[in-house]
Amino acid sequence: MEATRRHREILERARSSGRVEVGGLAVELGVAPETVRRDLRHLVDRGVLQRVHGGAYPVESAGYETDVATRSASGLDQKRRIATAAAQHLDGAETVYVDEGVTPQLVAEALRPDGPLTIVTSSLLTATALAARPEVTVLMLGGRVRGRTMATVDHWATHMLADLVIDLAILGANGVTREHGLTTPDPAVAAVKGLVVQRSRRRVFVGIHKKFGVSSFCRFAHVADFEVLVTDTGLSATEAHRYAALGPHVVRA
């Protein structure tokens, strides 16, 4: 099999399953493991895969984004640890924005406020999960619902946000780098997230370590815009220190 066809096949497999392994690819494609490693390096250099020990996983981009089901099935234990740690940073906030995504939703569910709490969210799943809690008032942003993420975007959402002042924002991203900041594949999503950054007094990022070192299409914030970055221990202490040097406190849960 020629290299170009192998690259396309590897990328398709990574995007369909969420991860590929060197050994499995070598057997399935009928090539040596070292050939697969070279193919993975090529795809990493193109910015479409992220290398991990023994294999690689796909980078979300303008042309590719995982759906809610895939995100819910991936790294759930890590996400719960992150959520528990992030929930400790409520610090008396009475109005909290909760971003789309599994990890922000888990943070919202882990919040234990001392009094009434108003949650603003673009996520239908988060709104549904919290609406029955008696101490929580949920404000759902209007707009076009993206079926892939079950969250609202476009001018209805940004118009509502423009009139709000939010104590604390819990935000996720598809990628975080020191050079490019926090990024997401869709410009409409970036517009909502970017306005949340502007309208919130404090901002906490939550995301598993695989988000770090990855850049997507649209930047919506700089690392320095955040008070805290909460991730898991898969992010090395050295890398955590490098991000902390830009301003935020980095928590490895």
pLDDT in tens, 76-112: 899 999 999 999 999 999 999 999 999 999 999 999 9
3-class SS of residue 201:
strand
The closest alpha carbon to 240, from 183, 180, 178, belongs to: 178
Which of residues 63 and 219 earns the better pLDDT score? 219
Q: Are residues 232 and 198 in the same domain?
A: yes
Q: Which residues are registered as beta bridge partners of 118?
A: 95, 137
Q: Which domain holds residue 86?
A: 68-252
Buried b (16+ CB within 10 A) or exposed e, 99-124: bbbbbbbbbbebbebeeebbbbbbbb
Q: Are residues 32 and 83 in the same domain?
A: no
Q: Are residues 43 and 131 in the same domain?
A: no
- Band of pLDDT at residue 16, cut at 50, 70 and 90: confident
> Considering 18, 40, 58, which residue would you say is the last residue of a domain?
58
Q: Are residues 10 and 112 in the same domain?
A: no
> Considering 58, 86, 102, which residue would you say is the last residue of a domain?
58
Q: What is the spatial distance between Cα 97 and Cα 150, in angstroms, rounded to a whole number?
A: 16
The CATH number of residue 16's host domain is 1.10.10.10
Q: Is the pTM of this model over 0.75?
A: yes
Q: What is the spatial distance between Cα 55 and Cα 1, in angstroms, rounded to a whole number?
A: 20
- Band of pLDDT at residue 19, cut at 50, 70 and 90: confident
User: Cα-flanking dihedrals φ and ψ of residue 11, to 5°?
Assistant: -65, -40
pLDDT for res 15: 85
3-class SS of residue 253:
coil
pLDDT for res 10: 92
Whether residue 63 is contained in a domain is answered as: no
Q: Is the pLDDT of residue 73 over 80?
A: no
pLDDT for res 64: 66
- What single string gives the DSSP state of each residue in 89-107? T-TT-SEEEE-SSHHHHHH
User: What does the pLDDT look like over 35-46, one tens digit per residue?
Assistant: 999 999 999 888
Whether residue 192 is contained in a domain is answered as: yes
Binning the chain into helix, strand and coil, the percentages to the nearest 5 are 40, 25, 30
